[in-house]
Amino acid sequence: MSGEDGQPAVVKVTAEQLGLQLGEEYAGQLDIDLGHLTAWDPAPIDAAKYQGEGREEACLETARAITQSLVNRLFDLPSEPITGGRLAQLPFPTTVLPRQRPLPKMKELTRWQKFAQKKGIVKKKRSKMEWDETNQEWRRRHGYKRVNDDADVPIIEASAGDKPGEDPFARLAREKRERVSRNKKSQLENAKVAAKSGALPATLKLAAVLTDSGQVSKAGGARAVPKGKRKELKEEIKLASRLSGVSTASMGKFDRKLKGEKPGERAPLGKRRQFAAVTDTAGERAKMGGLADRFIRERADDILDVKKAIGKFEAEAREERRAAKEVIYAAAAKKAGKG
């Protein structure tokens, strides 16, 4: 079917022609928020209507009518055709919903982050590998077998500033210990600053109020803790105690219980991996056999040469027949010699 201009004519089909029956909308006043796909009646509830034997039918009819009103508003929105139907853009929600949890606190910047922000230093992502001039190969930037590792240097070239009689290897080890000590001190200072804003887990919060000797500092001691935060500090201590209790090899199973500790407090926080017993040789043999069978089944075409296997089998059969004939000939010759 085409129109006067040769273009296909638009055929409009009504719901009555399709046999569809549209339900009536809600008779009362509704507050509709299409952004959240919600609709509700702000008027007081008619208690008599939703009591008695017909309360189920009344609730279903009210829910159907409100849903029908909401769907009709959705079809009134501007839409565009897509594959399988039409797409309508929902408006921005008008109802402010409360948050389930409070807003997360901003993480305290470290001294280096503050310095970099002040100087405009932008962090650039570096590759994990770096070229090692000494070994003439690519190595990791940090960790095991790292690039320019002091332990790999067999000879250290002397400089004009070296002290007479000083061991250069011992000097490198001492400088490394000093760098590690400075990093730990900076990390502790950053933890103390971040602990004031409550942006650290329990274990780091406890470490932030301790000095190098393990004593409680004056700035973070029990007397300096406000009364309102003593309960929070108690929970932090309990959590840190639980974490330390399950940090052993047995995850606290064979450790001595503390005084007042309740059963189940040292339960692992997650699932524990299962390891096979070292004395179960039969189980280990069966497991290895299953892995071997699976490997052979998956790569049978790559491992087994059918022609070579048949040739080997035929060669063994010929060898057996030859050996049997030699035995027969030897017995016949021996019998002829006696005769």
What's the pLDDT at 33? 92
What's the pLDDT at 106? 80
- pLDDT confidence tier of residue 299, bands split at 50, 70 and 90: low
Rounded to an integer, the average pLDDT of 277-300 is 77
Query: With pLDDT > 70 as the criterion, what percentage of the chain qualifies?
Result: 76
Read off the pLDDT of residues 57-92 as tens digits, 9 standing for 90 and up.
889 989 999 998 998 888 888 888 888 778 888 999
Read off the pLDDT of residues 130-165 as tens digits, 9 standing for 90 and up.
888 878 889 888 888 888 777 777 777 778 788 888
Query: With pLDDT > 90 as the criterion, what percentage of the chain qualifies?
Result: 6
- Mapping DSSP onto H, E and C, the string for the chain reads CECCCCCECCCCCCHHHHCCCCCCCCCCCCEEECCCCEEECCCCCCCCCCCCCCHHHHHHHHHHHHHHHHHHHHHCCCEEEECCEEEECCCCCCCCCCCCCCCCCCCCCCHHHHHHHHHCCCCCCCCCEEEECCCCEEEECCCCCECCCHHHCCCCCCCCCCCCCCCHHHHHHHHHHHHHHHHHHHHHHHHHHHHHCCCCCHHHHHHHCECCCCCECCCCCCCCCCHHHHHHHHHHHHHHHHHHHCCCCCCCCCCCCCCCCCCCCCCCCCCCCCCCCCCCHHHHHHHHHHHHHHHHHHCHHHHCCHHHHHHHHHHHHHHHHHHHHHHHHHHHHHHHHHC
Who wins on pLDDT, 299 or 117? 117
Lowest mean pLDDT segment, chosen from 99-108, 183-192, 258-267 = 258-267
- pLDDT confidence tier of residue 222, bands split at 50, 70 and 90: very low
- pLDDT confidence tier of residue 119, bands split at 50, 70 and 90: very high
Rounded to an integer, the average pLDDT of 253-270 is 74
Rounded to an integer, the average pLDDT of 325-339 is 79
Who wins on pLDDT, 110 or 93? 93
Rounded to an integer, the average pLDDT of 104-120 is 85
Who wins on pLDDT, 6 or 234? 234
**pTM for the complete prediction?**
0.32
